[in-house]
Amino acid sequence: MRTLGRFAYWLVALAIVSIILVSLDYSPFQALLIGLVFCPCALALEFLMPKARNVIDKIYLSLAVLAAVILLILCLHYFVWSQFTPDGTFRQAKDVAPMLINPAFLGLILMALSLGDYFWSIWLAKRFKAGDRTITFFSDRKSVTLKLSDISYVESNDTEVRIVTASGESYRNKTGISQWENLLGVDFLRIHRSYLVNTSHATLLSPDSVQLGETVLPVSRKYKDAVRRFAEKK
């Protein structure tokens, strides 16, 4: 249901953006194509922004995404919608609407799309718990399928991670812990550069440690605020 919910969100978002673009004197088909430019760029912004280390990195990332949107829009206008006339001259089929090269307008749409998806994902996670949702990965060249609710925590060890279940089973995998964080979703909380824990199994012992069954894991300074907010909600 979560995947279907996310898909439905982007369909509605694309429809709304297309309606806005039609009001800027674009045809429905042209509006749809431009809307398709916004969606992956907004997703990239949503995915990469939390990974930016500081304010400067966030600014550079925002500018890069804005530049990508403008470049793609210009490509649509000057290459896809332009053509050579019979006499051999090049004709631009559609002028670029001034709003579509306005960074403030573009930034507003990108922010609305990415924040909307972020909060919608949180609502979906609360509405549809992990439950029997599963994940499949390779461990020691064998395919393993686990319920998300059975995973206790993920530990990063240099070039590989260890997936530990509530029953004590352990699996090795080469996918980085940041990718696991994205795969497992909001039911899992990063508490340390090396640890990602299932919030359903975690108990905060102190500001510096979390307990999962008989295992106690450290909380690093970088993630203390996130862990504190989790403890307050629980």
pLDDT tens digit sequence for 83-107:
544 554 545 566 788 999 899 999 9
pLDDT of residue 131: 54
User: What mean pLDDT, rounded, does the chain reach?
Assistant: 86
SS3 call for 108: helix
For the stretch 36-75, pLDDT in tens is 999 999 988 888 887 677 889 889 999 999 999 999 998 8
In angstroms, how far is CA 87 from the centroid of its own chain? 48
pLDDT of residue 149: 87
Helices (H), the chain: 2-22, 28-48, 55-75, 103-127, 177-184, 224-233
Average pLDDT estimate for 116-141? 79
For the stretch 175-211, pLDDT in tens is 889 889 888 887 899 999 999 999 888 888 888 899 9
pLDDT of residue 84: 47
- Which of 166, 128, 161 shows the shortest CA–CA distance to 147? 166
With a cut of 80, say whether residue 129 has pLDDT above it. no
Count how many Cα atoms sit within 13 Å of the Cα of residue 69 in the half-sphere of its side chain: 30
Q: Give one DSSP letter per residue of 147-196, joined into a string.
A: EGGGEEEEEEETTEEEEEETTS-EEEE-S-HHHHHHHH-TTEEEEETTEE
Max avg pLDDT among 74-78, 120-124, 164-168:
164-168
CB atoms inside a 10 Å sphere around CB 66:
17
Q: Are the C-beta atoms of 66 and 110 separated by less than 8 Å?
A: yes
pLDDT of residue 13: 94
- Which residues contact residue 196 at a Cβ distance below 8 angstroms, ignoring those fewer than 6 apart? 153, 154, 177, 180, 181, 184, 188, 189, 190
Tokens linked to 186: 């909001």
Specify the residue for token string 């978002």: 13
pLDDT of residue 102: 92
Indicate the domain borders of the chain.
2-127, 134-233
The architecture CATH gives domain 134-233: Beta Barrel (2.40)
